[in-house]
A and B are shown apart, each in its own frame.
Chain A
Amino acid sequence: MKENIIIIGGGAAGMEAATQLQKLGLTPVIIEKSNALGGHIAQWDKLFPAFHNAKDVVSKMFDNVKDIKTYLNTEVTDIQRNADGFHAVLSNGEAIDGKAVVLATGFDLFKAERKQEYGYGIYNNVITSLELEKFFRTRKDERINNPKKIGFVHCVGARDVKVGNTYCSKVCCTTALKQACEMKEVFPEAEVYTFYMDLRMFGPGYEDLYLKTQKDYDVKCIRGRVCEVSEDMDGRLVIKAEDTLFGKPLRMTLDLLVLMCSMEKNKSIDKIQQQLGVENNSDGFMQNRDMYLGMNDSKQEGVFVAGTCTAPKSLPDTIGEARSVAVEVFNYVNNK
């Protein structure tokens, strides 16, 4: 039995789903819009909570998919349902047929400049979590110049009705603490502050990371959202926040401010999603059929969803979903 399964998106979810589908005897085809597989996770240096190299995980995934047919720099421009399944037209002019479609389209990082008060793109020393991750990989960023005081702002673009995202982006808290520790490693003399609303340490070992952050790394966690960032004469950042646990507003000068940008639905897939009839949920992510027993089914037959296209997720969550979607697809194809 050799059935094509169209997987849109070559990130962690897409690669892992393809790997598992191949093991189940199906023929997955990955369509990736960028010029490489790996998605966001390939841009990451270390993974929380235990500082594993992201590269190690990603390179294993690459190995797993090396025999799977993959289109890079390719988007699906049109997709139609037919009697046998789906007919997809690709941006390179080719067309493929598949029994089922797996949407593993992932997320977009929140555009930090939308939170204008943080001055991203205006003040030199305001960077995003992704840019910091790049710094960890390359150790190059002219904005990071032996900072003495570093601040992390949680929930940038999350839990914020003003930008239209009321949901929690799930992984930013842990990422912030992870990055805070890493900054302490790189700049041991620096004072590192995180401005959090709630510290959501939801996974195994995450709370230990938090404890370590406090105890071993002396990262100072201040409960309160930074509301205003300005630049002083020396180009340093002056921030205002309330220390809500102390009940007083505070201000401080920082050399670097890192914005923990939330996940948003990847909007570049909107047209295809519409053609397939997959709806969005109230958070703007794709709606799955059922929160518990149908989390990888869309409401449309033969269209499956996996990974962060349905909600913000951590890497283990995403891999778990990719594996479960493979089983769903396998059962679907076999029962048809």
Chain B
Amino acid sequence: MIVEGKQKIWADYQKDIPDDHYFYVRSCIRQSFWPASEVTFLDIVRNKLGKDFYENEYHTTCGGIAYHSDSIPQETAMTIIARQFALMHESGYENYVCSCITSFGLYTETLETWHEFPELEAKIRQYLWDSCKKEFAKPKYLAHASDMIYKFRFDIAKQMKFPLVNVKTGKPLKVVEHIGCHYSKMFPSKGFGGAEYPHVLVGMIEAWGGEVVDYPERRHCCGFGFRQYFVQGNRGYSESNTYKKFESMEPYEPDLIITNCPGCPYFLDRWQYVIAEQTGKTYGKNGYGIPALTYEEVAGLVMGYDPWDLGLQMHQVAIEPLLEKMGIPYDPKKKYQGVNGKDLGQPQCPSCIKSV
């Protein structure tokens, strides 16, 4: 591996991100899978970094799930998006940042399509007015939330309490980065580092002291794919893709997977359990599996947030071995306690993959 070669590509694929004042929209899936991630993101950018990120209670889904599963036509999805942009405009913002990769891909696709086909844009402008009586507006700048953490990765590093280092050996943790397909595979120039060697997560890992693992199936999709997942009979296809990735990364003995897409951490996490149940195979040391975290969770961990406040108990793969490696203190008793100390109940332990 010639790092200079990658650095050259990274330098070629940079984007100028406005420093401040963003309109923030959430992800449908993430709100239910990893609710703490978005909260942590807002807490970091607002309270730790002192930036202006505005949220509007009226924003909805971007329509991506329905669009990608062929439930709604493109015009409908575009009108939903136009409404989101109108909300941003009404709120006095012109920089749009979304939490979801599917949304980011769809927003980018939509903006590019409008650019290429102005007549379609005119049509959507009309639809928006007809349906919502809202005024059409386009963001001046579109970013994904991981772009923001990437941009502020060194600021976060300054406040870092637990770097991505194994406290017992002093060596950097081996971290697999997994980029959501729709981040830059469709429009390479829209992602940090481009499509082949994206830098958005690599930059975070390196800034926070970890060592990036580049393995043969790095580019491969986690296997989520709405159509694959929605139909039970097709889920084996989804699972097989995850399986392929794990088989490929296994020899590198990674400590952690970091992702920037709603579905990826969920499937990279849960399929480890399913694979273990079906084949008896587990990954990672001692049969615990390899934790797959969102970038906000990792940012929160290195900045010293309480693991349970970050919602890490929501992961199937036990997080405790990682916390111990990083030397992060945690109270095992609090793992299944709600915000008010209420007992949430302990999940049933799976038979194959180890849990604490």
| A228 with B219, Cβ < 8 A, contacts A116-B194, A122-B197 known | yes
Contacts of A230 in B (CB 8 A): 214-219
**The one of A113, A116, A122, A238 that contacts B216, using a Cβ cutoff of 8 Å:** A238
Interface size class of A (residues with CB under 8 A): 10 to 19
Within 138-189 of B, Cβ neighbours of A (below 8 Å) are at none
Measured CA separation A119–B219 after assembly (Å): 13
Contacts of B8 in A (CB 8 A): 113, 121
Contacts of B219 in A (CB 8 A): 228, 230
The 5 closest A-B pairs by CB, nearest first: A121-B5, A122-B5, A230-B216, A116-B196, A238-B216
- Not counting A121-B5, A230-B215, A233-B252, a sample of 4 additional A-B residue pairs whose C-beta atoms are within 8 angstroms of each other reads A116-B194, A122-B2, A122-B9, A232-B215
Measured CA separation A122–B6 after assembly (Å): 6
Closest to A238 in B: B216
Instruction: Answer whether residue A108 sits at the interface, using C-beta atoms and an 8 A cutoff.
Output: no
Instruction: Answer whether residue B50 sits at the interface, using C-beta atoms and an 8 A cutoff.
Output: no
Contacts of A122 in B (CB 8 A): 1-2, 5-6, 9, 197
Instruction: Answer whether residue B251 sits at the interface, using C-beta atoms and an 8 A cutoff.
Output: yes
Within 79-134 of A, Cβ neighbours of B (below 8 Å) are at 113, 116-117, 119-124
Measured CA separation A230–B218 after assembly (Å): 8
In the bound complex, do residue A123 and residue B195 qualify as a contact, i.e. CB atoms below 8 Å apart? Answer: no
In the bound complex, do residue A121 and residue B196 qualify as a contact, i.e. CB atoms below 8 Å apart? Answer: no
Instruction: Answer whether residue A242 sits at the interface, using C-beta atoms and an 8 A cutoff.
Output: no
**The one of A116, A117, A121, A228 that contacts B2, using a Cβ cutoff of 8 Å:** A121
In the bound complex, do residue B214 and residue A231 qualify as a contact, i.e. CB atoms below 8 Å apart? Answer: yes
In the bound complex, do residue B1 and residue A123 qualify as a contact, i.e. CB atoms below 8 Å apart? Answer: yes
Measured CA separation A277–B326 after assembly (Å): 66
| A116 with B1, Cβ < 8 A, contacts A230-B215, A233-B252 known | no
Give 1 or 0 for each of B265-281: 1 = CB within 8 Å of chain A CB. Answer: 00000000000000000
Within 207-253 of A, Cβ neighbours of B (below 8 Å) are at 228, 230-233, 235, 238
Measured CA separation A235–B2 after assembly (Å): 11
Measured CA separation A121–B6 after assembly (Å): 8
Closest to A240 in B: B216
Measured CA separation A231–B252 after assembly (Å): 12
Contacts of A117 in B (CB 8 A): 196
In the bound complex, do residue B1 and residue A124 qualify as a contact, i.e. CB atoms below 8 Å apart? Answer: yes
Within 253-284 of A, Cβ neighbours of B (below 8 Å) are at none
Tell me what chain A mostly uses at the interface: helix, strand, loop, or mixed.
Answer: mixed
In the bound complex, do residue B252 and residue A116 qualify as a contact, i.e. CB atoms below 8 Å apart? Answer: no
In the bound complex, do residue B2 and residue A123 qualify as a contact, i.e. CB atoms below 8 Å apart? Answer: yes
**The one of B4, B194, B216, B251 that contacts A231, using a Cβ cutoff of 8 Å:** B216
**How near does chain B come to A157, taking the closest CB pair, in angstroms?**
15
**How near does chain B come to A194, taking the closest CB pair, in angstroms?**
22
Contacts of B218 in A (CB 8 A): 230
Give 1 or 0 for each of B88-114: 1 = CB within 8 Å of chain A CB. Answer: 000000000000000000000000000
Residue among B4, B5, B9 having the largest count of chain A Cβ atoms under 10 Å: B5
Measured CA separation A119–B5 after assembly (Å): 9
Measured CA separation A122–B252 after assembly (Å): 19
Give 1 or 0 for each of B205-242: 1 = CB within 8 Å of chain A CB. Answer: 00000000011111100000000000000000000000
Contacts of B196 in A (CB 8 A): 116-117, 119
Measured CA separation A266–B218 after assembly (Å): 36
**How near does chain B come to A177, taking the closest CB pair, in angstroms?**
28
Contacts of A116 in B (CB 8 A): 9, 194-197
In the bound complex, do residue A233 and residue B251 qualify as a contact, i.e. CB atoms below 8 Å apart? Answer: yes
A-B contact pairs, 20 of them (CB 8 A): A113-B5, A113-B8, A116-B197, A119-B196, A120-B5, A121-B4, A122-B1, A122-B2, A122-B5, A124-B2, A228-B219, A230-B216, A230-B219, A231-B1, A231-B214, A232-B215, A233-B215, A233-B251, A233-B252, A238-B216
**How near does chain A come to B157, taking the closest CB pair, in angstroms?**
26
Closest to B1 in A: A231
Closest to A122 in B: B5
Measured CA separation A120–B4 after assembly (Å): 11
Measured CA separation A238–B216 after assembly (Å): 7
Contacts of B216 in A (CB 8 A): 230-232, 238
Measured CA separation A230–B2 after assembly (Å): 12
Contacts of A238 in B (CB 8 A): 216
**How near does chain A come to B187, taking the closest CB pair, in angstroms?**
13
**How near does chain B come to A242, taking the closest CB pair, in angstroms?**
15
Measured CA separation A122–B218 after assembly (Å): 15
**How near does chain A come to B82, taking the closest CB pair, in angstroms?**
30
Closest to A118 in B: B196
Measured CA separation A230–B245 after assembly (Å): 13
Closest to A237 in B: B216
Measured CA separation A334–B139 after assembly (Å): 65
Give 1 or 0 for each of B1-43: 1 = CB within 8 Å of chain A CB. Answer: 1101110110000000000000000000000000000000000
Measured CA separation A148–B138 after assembly (Å): 55
Contacts of B2 in A (CB 8 A): 121-124
Closest to A251 in B: B216
Contacts of B214 in A (CB 8 A): 230-231
Measured CA separation A238–B219 after assembly (Å): 12
**How near does chain A come to B212, taking the closest CB pair, in angstroms?**
13
Contacts of B197 in A (CB 8 A): 116, 122
Contacts of B1 in A (CB 8 A): 122-124, 231, 235
Measured CA separation A116–B9 after assembly (Å): 8
Measured CA separation A232–B5 after assembly (Å): 17
**How near does chain B come to A121, taking the closest CB pair, in angstroms?**
4
**How near does chain B come to A3, taking the closest CB pair, in angstroms?**
48
Contacts of A121 in B (CB 8 A): 2, 4-5, 8
Measured CA separation A233–B216 after assembly (Å): 9
Closest to A253 in B: B216
**How near does chain B come to A26, taking the closest CB pair, in angstroms?**
46
Contacts of A232 in B (CB 8 A): 215-216
**How near does chain B come to A200, taking the closest CB pair, in angstroms?**
28
Closest to A233 in B: B251
Within 35-81 of B, Cβ neighbours of A (below 8 Å) are at none
**How near does chain A come to B211, taking the closest CB pair, in angstroms?**
14
